[in-house]
Amino acid sequence: MERADLAQLIADQCEALDITYADIGELPARLYEMEEALIPHGLHIFGQNPSGAAREDMLDAMMDAGSLDGPTPDRAVLAAKLDSSDELGALIHALDGGFVQPAPGGDVVVNPQVLPTGRNIHGFDPFLMPSAYACRLGSEQAQQLIARHVNGGEPFPESIAMVLWGTDNMKSEGVQIAQAMTLMGARPRRDSYGRLCGAELIPLTELGRPRIDVVMTLSGIFRDLLPMQTRMLAEAALLAAQADETVEANFVRKHTLVHQAKHGCEFETAALRVFSNAEGAYGANVNQMIDGGVWADPDELANAFEINKGFAYGVSGKPVQQRDMLQSALGTVDFTYQNLESVELGINDVDQYVDGLGGVTRSVSRAKGVETPVYILDATRGSTKVRTLGEQIDLETRTRTLNPKWFEGLLEHGYEGVRQIEGHVTSTLGWSATTGQVAPWVYQKISETFVLDEAMRRRLSDLNPKSAGRVASRLLEACDRHLWEPDEATLAALREANDELEDRLEGVFPAE
């Protein structure tokens, strides 16, 4: 076939799959990325070790991850460790007052030391976080993040809003903490025993670029688990703000002076950059509002975020309600971002990504009056890839939500599988509401796969009539909110399917 014919064939196939490209040369890497994506196979059942194809897939993934940073691991050894897990036995032993061996926690694909499971997992040594290894990796990743933004044609960022999670830092020895430190041009200060005791600045001559302002919003879990690191981050921001440097070379100082003049507050107050919930409180409540459908204007989502996350943690470690300062700090932000640290959790698998990253993005967009770029730094496979949120949604929709391997694995778990599909649809709407970065084809294909396909619709409704109904009504909600504008035929079919699902729920169609 002629080259032009082939190009047309490829273009037609891509159009059918809603894959857009500027240059055909981009396609191999994009397709390879999708092909290579790891997808969790259903849910873990306590006490049940992986078997059959799932066991082989898991070993494959562990072999791949293991060979990235050293000699290829021994498959038989990995398999023996995997098979020797005795979670139920260990639980009973613990309940009997017996001793359960300690073991590291984390992602089994990346760290085989986690095996066998069913041991008493310990997280980390708080005095060693971030570790030297994490500082090196975090510094490289911070550079990759800046490069992605700048290579996209944007000016060098003055300010970044970053979401920090506790478990991700535990899994990575504090890589995300190290990223934040590097961006500000700071590093951990350690005592003569090598234990963490605070922050210190990297001299500008060594840093070789301006200090970037970082507005950090911590999950409640981070705040609880990592009080020393919380204070270290606050100290880094304060030291940067106080440094006797020009505002062209130090954006933390530049913005602090602006905030101070605006609010007429103490310098130290204007240098607050670490925000989280009030003590004892968790989450931004943005996910709950989206789940309940109880918002009229996206500004209400920004309000929820700021009300819940508007507590500043300064160098004393004691939180102070500072919503105005959070708003001012977010008003300088060029882009928002968060890491993905584990293959287990994609951006739609739990609703806390929309809650924290979506929430902060909505607040930044409101403060600035323009939509905010969002990046995801994917560190789940050993190497790092920075994607825009739009690219991440594209990838995960194709490799998870719409991928039979993902949903069939979950549907083996019955009603819970349908609930997980519903969760993806709700998160998708959440990303639209908070960031506006969901392409129409995502809603179209979700509708076709889970609602408009009669056999699938029946199947979901038999397994979990409530969730199946909510999948359809959520898609209609997206239409009502003008987050997605399908063609008339799709809309009519969705409405009809939704009516049928409601009738089935009300028992008009008794279970077959």
Q: Which residues contact 210 (CB under 8 A, 6 or more apart)?
A: 156, 158, 204, 248, 249, 250, 251
Residue 229 contacts residue 197 (beta carbons within 8 Å): no
Task: Candidates 40-48, 159-167, 195-203, 432-440: pick the segment binding ligand BEZ (CB under 6 A).
Answer: 159-167
Q: Is 166 in the site for ligand BEZ (CB under 6 A)?
A: yes
Task: Candidates 149-157, 217-225, 400-408, 462-470: pick the segment binding ligand BEZ (CB under 6 A).
Answer: 217-225
CA dist 394 and 14 (Å) reads 13
According to DSSP, residue 250 is labeled B
Here the tokens at position 130 are 């971030």
Q: How far is the CB of 165 from ligand BEZ (least distance, A)?
A: 3
Residue among 38 and 110 whose Cβ is closer to Mg ion: 110
Residue among 338 and 388 whose Cβ is closer to ligand BEZ: 338
CA dist 275 and 306 (Å) reads 10
Task: Of 129, 225, 223, give the one whose Cα is nearest residue 181.
Answer: 129
Q: Is 167 in the site for ligand BEZ (CB under 6 A)?
A: yes
100-139 residues near Mg ion, rule: CB under 5 A: 110
Q: How far is the CB of 337 from ligand BEZ (least distance, A)?
A: 16
333-392 residues near ligand BEZ, rule: CB under 6 A: 350, 352
Q: Is 221 in the site for ligand BEZ (CB under 6 A)?
A: yes
Here the tokens at position 69 are 């940073």
Residue among 196 and 379 whose Cβ is closer to Mg ion: 379
Q: How far is the CB of 350 from ligand BEZ (least distance, A)?
A: 6
Residue 483 contacts residue 425 (beta carbons within 8 Å): no
Task: Of 162, 151, 288, 150, give the one whose Cα is nearest residue 210.
Answer: 150
Task: Candidates 87-95, 120-128, 214-222, 398-406: pick the segment binding ligand BEZ (CB under 6 A).
Answer: 214-222
**Binding partner of residue 166 among Mg ion, ligand BEZ, none, CB under 5 to 8 Å per kind?**
ligand BEZ
Q: How far is the CB of 392 from Mg ion (least distance, A)?
A: 16
Residue among 168 and 306 whose Cβ is closer to ligand BEZ: 168
**Binding partner of residue 221 among ligand BEZ, Mg ion, none, CB under 5 to 8 Å per kind?**
ligand BEZ
**Binding partner of residue 384 among ligand BEZ, Mg ion, none, CB under 5 to 8 Å per kind?**
none
CA dist 377 and 176 (Å) reads 10
DSSP symbols for 80-140: HHHHT--HHHHHHHHHTT----EEE-S-TTT-GGG-SSSSEEE---GGG-S-HHHHHHHHH
Residue among 165 and 251 whose Cβ is closer to ligand BEZ: 165
376-395 residues near Mg ion, rule: CB under 5 A: 379
9-48 residues near ligand BEZ, rule: CB under 6 A: none
Residue among 271 and 286 whose Cβ is closer to ligand BEZ: 286
Count how many residues are written for the chain: 512
- Choose, by CB under 6 A, the member of 219, 363, 401, 490 that binds ligand BEZ: 219
Name the helix (H) or strand (E) containing 159.
strand 159-164
First to last CA, the chain: 52
**Binding partner of residue 165 among Mg ion, ligand BEZ, none, CB under 5 to 8 Å per kind?**
ligand BEZ
CA dist 218 and 274 (Å) reads 7
Give contact residues for Mg ion (rule: CB under 5 A): 110, 379
Give contact residues for ligand BEZ (rule: CB under 6 A): 165-167, 219, 221-222, 350, 352
